Amino acid sequence: MAKPANYEAKINILNEKIEKKSAAIKQLKAELQEIKAKQEAERMKELVAFMEESDMSASRALELIQKGLEKEKEEQPAPEGQPENQGN
């Protein structure tokens, strides 16, 4: 006759593995947030330097960005299957 499986031990082992992996994932997520924050700080530093070099206020920079985004949106072709907006 076959030896009965010890399911409780197997379950406990799997739960321990899950806990270890969860801790590793939590650590990776923290590292990811730290890197994202550093990237954002670097981008902001670059933006502020550009604005200072150009003697540009934040409101002027936002205005230019908004105009650029609007122009970019207008220049994009309509998605397939949808008619282009012809001013109707």
User: SS3 string of 5-74?
Assistant: CCHHHHHHHHHHHHHHHHHHHHHHHHHHHHHHHHHHHHHHHHHHHHHHHCCCCHHHHHHHHHHHHHHHHH
C-alpha to C-alpha distance for 16 and 7, rounded to whole angstroms: 14
In this predicted model, what pLDDT tens digit does every residue of 15-59 receive, in sequence order? 999 999 999 999 999 999 999 999 999 999 999 999 999 999 999
Q: Is the pTM of this model over 0.85?
A: no
Work out the pLDDT band at 80, boundaries 50, 70, 90.
confident
